[in-house]
Structure 1
Amino acid sequence: MPNVALAVTDGMLQFELALACEVFGADMTGVAEPWYRFSVCGPSAVRVGRFRLAPDHGLDRLPHADTVIVPGWADVDQDPPAELIEAVRAAHEAGARVASLCTGAFVLAAAGLLDGRRATTHWAHAKELAERHPRVTVDPDVLYVDNGSVLTSAGKAAAMDLCLHLVRLDHGSSVANTLARRLVVPPHRDGGQAQFVTAPVPAPDNHPLAELFPWVIRRLDQPLTVEDLARQAGMSSRNLGRHFRSVTGTTPLQWLLTQRIRHAQELLETTDDTVDSIAAATGMGTATTLRRHFQRTVGVPPDTYRRTFRSRTRPGAYDDGRHHRRKS
């Protein structure tokens, strides 16, 4: 059972903290078993916004975790507490995967974990992060950055994108998608992290496209067009486009392509099907077409993605080559 620890001290942002609790502390009985063994680690009592929080363990427990989550740090003008920095650094040196949400990147940077790496944070604080930590390559235009054993996210909703990305790496796409729907996550936004693409999650069922989405998902192996979708939805192509933009934040064709890529990822993760078979099953037609769209969208070829995903979901796969996972 993966051990996830949330590192907290006074001054953490309550939204990101609560978000991590909701994802990794969720009851997923019947969906993914075993789920995470989740705990909050910090001093005896911490203040988060207007609330007081009593952690389960002290910060000295962080090095025993498989994954450490660092929520947003509220006062970026001040250096994070030394005890937090030291504990996060010790956890990483012990082999833990460390992820920051929003301005939690300032904690990781102070611990030296981002030196020589690409990272992101809330766009409003990206310039300051870059100025204070010149050895970090700060990218303000992405939702999150995955460096293997060190991950960073942009602000607020992007923190959810990163948390679901971690769930997907650990438990697979089906579980991550189930959790996303339980949380009623809004659609994935364009401009996300290029290494992995997350499928847009349909909005609740009270919109004009509610019946169209599952109809399309069941027919991804077919050469669907915008006209096909519009005909099924009983509206003009122009009206369909307006509804798609409102509900998913993107166009019908882009949404359809994302579903095809997403399905291709699932097949690469869970089957030994050839790229040709997956191209047919996802409506891409040929392996060449699949490879072109997959490379452009995901950032790596299908074969490389399959090898990378499977190696990272094995026990100990949080290692980026610099650290070795402890044996229990």
Structure 2
Amino acid sequence: MHTVAALALPDTIAFDLATPIEVFRRARMPDGRAAYRVVVCGTEPLLEAGPIRIATDHGLDELARADTIVVPGRHDITVPTPPDALESLRVAAAAGTRVASICVGAFTLAEAGLLDGRPATTHWAASDLLAQRYPRVDVDPQVLYVDDGPVLTSAGASAGLDLCLHMIRRDHGTAVAADAARLAVAPLHRDGGQAQFIVHNPPDLAPATLEPLLGWIEEHAHEPLTLADLATAGRMSTRSLHRRFHAETGQSPVEWLTRVRVRHAQELLETTDHAVETISDRVGFASPNTFRTHFRRLAGVNPRTYRTTFRNGG
């Protein structure tokens, strides 16, 4: 079974640590078996983490037996990481272990030298400091997460959830990841290239304003919907629809609908033998060519290549 080790360091941000523990621990295979074994490794048996204390299951030696290591952020990123933790990360990465960070956990990976020459991201408020302190890292402050093969980084806390779901999909396919997303009450279709939600002036909208409409889109995405149809379903004008979508999702209504359709297509490519043309029609695209264009733009590969890669779990 794939083992995920969450690394608890002194001054760890508890929320960042809890995210991979809960998301991976709850992931289930189609037959109900646990998809992952999750362990918590630490530099000490009992660690201070802001206002709370964290007891760890294992020491750093367990990292060598993990398939994936997730490094959460720390409250004070100016304090050096314990040298033995850095060395354990280097040894594990050199052995082929997948290593990921949540939020400012990217600073720990950079300190270990694991981000040298790689693209990476972190919380937008800390991105300039990461770039200044580690000039060999190609820092992208705009994206939610970066998947650079064996090394992955994410932005803020919610982006860490997106990254964990992305890794589950990479490991076991969309159906398993979608189930994990439902348990976390989170969307599955926020890809890494989506912009971080950098709120300089908070919008005067409640965060859940669009939730009923987003649920409606999930159920009706296969229909030949227009912008006016979405506005009618949301009981607002098309102008208000655009404003609220951009404020709450960073996307246009049509782009959101397109991403939902592509995600639904991914599920069908993984779980059925339907022809690409059939899937295109079933998820709501006007033509197979339009479907292929949007699928390649969002998934990075054409539908047939995606099916070959992910049909059996990647």
Taking structure 1 as the reference length, what is the TM-score of the superposition? 0.80
Q: Could you tell me how far apart the structure 1 residues matched to 2:19 and 2:37 are?
A: 16
Aligned residue type for 1:39: V
Deviations 1:178-203 (Å, cap 9, x if unpaired)?
A: 333333337976xx5239xxxxxxxx
Mapping 1:150-189, distance limit 5 Å: 150-185=151-186
Mapping of residues 279-318 of structure 1, within 5 Å? 279-310=280-311, 313-314=313-314
Identity %: 49
**Is the alpha carbon distance of 1:48 and 1:229 closer, same or farther for their aligned partners in structure 2, counting shifts above 3 Å?**
same
CA distance 1:67–1:310, change in 2 (3 Å)? farther
Moved more, 117-126 or 130-139: 130-139
Read off the aligned partner of 2:16 and give its amino acid letter.
E
| TM-score, with length taken from structure 2 | 0.83
Amino acid at match of 1:280: D
Query: What are the equivalent positions in structure 2 for 1:73-222 lying under 5 Å apart?
Result: 73-185=74-186, 192-194=191-193, 210=212, 213-222=214-223
How much has 1:55 moved relative to structure 2? 0.7
Report the residue type matching 1:11 in the other structure.
Answer: D
1:121-161 deviation per Cα after TM superposition (whole angstroms, max 9, x unaligned): 11222222223322221111111000121100112221111
Q: 1:262 to 1:187 in 2, by over 3 A?
A: closer
For 1:271 and 1:67, the matched residues in 2 are separated by 29
**Equivalent-residue separation in structure 1 for 2:241 and 2:231 (angstroms):** 6
1:255-308 per-position Cα deviation (integer Å, ceiling 9, x unaligned): 211111111222233334333222222222323211221222333333333344
CA positional deviation for 1:229:
3.3
CA contact (8 A) 1:31 1:175 kept: no
1:42-81 map, 5 Å:
42=42, 43-81=44-82
Which deviations, in whole Å up to 9, do the C-alpha atoms of 1:61-111 show, x marking residues without a partner?
Answer: 101011111001332223211111111112222222111111111221222
Q: Is the 8 A contact 1:63 1:92 kept in 2?
A: no
1:22 corresponds in structure 2 to: 22
Other structure's SS at 1:146 match: strand
Q: CA offsets per residue over residues 230-270 of structure 1, 9 Å max, x none? A: 44555554455566556655433222111111112222333
- Aligned counterparts of 1:67 and 1:253: Cα–Cα separation in 2: 36
Q: 2:101 touches 2:152 (CA, 8 Å); kept in 1?
A: yes
Is contact 1:118–1:138 with CA below 8 Å preserved after alignment? yes
Separation (CA, whole Å) in 2 of partners of 1:293 and 1:75: 42
Q: Is the 8 A contact 1:209 1:233 kept in 2?
A: no
Task: Give the unaligned 5+ runs of structure 1.
Answer: 196-205, 315-328
What letter corresponds to residue 306 of structure 1 in structure 2?
R
Please list the CA deviations of residues 7-43 of structure 1 after superposition, one character each: whole Å capped at 9, or x if unmatched. Answer: 1121211220122222123375988522321110112
Q: Does the aligned pair in 1 maintain the 2:181–2:188 contact within 8 Å? A: no
> What residue number does 2:9 align with?
9
Q: Which moved more, 1:31-40 or 1:62-71?
A: 31-40
2:297 maps to amino acid: R
Tell me the C-alpha RMSD between the 2 structures.
Answer: 3.0
- SS in structure 2 at match of 1:95: coil
Query: SS at the partner of 1:25?
Result: helix
Q: How many residues align?
A: 301
Superposed, which structure 2 residues align to 1:220-299 within 5 Å? Answer: 220-232=221-233, 236-238=237-239, 240-241=241-242, 244=245, 248=249, 250-299=251-300
Residue 326 of structure 1 aligns with which residue? Answer: none
- Find the aligned partners of 1:17 and 1:229 in 2 and give their Cα distance: 38
Q: 2: distance between equivalents of 1:310 and 1:158?
A: 26
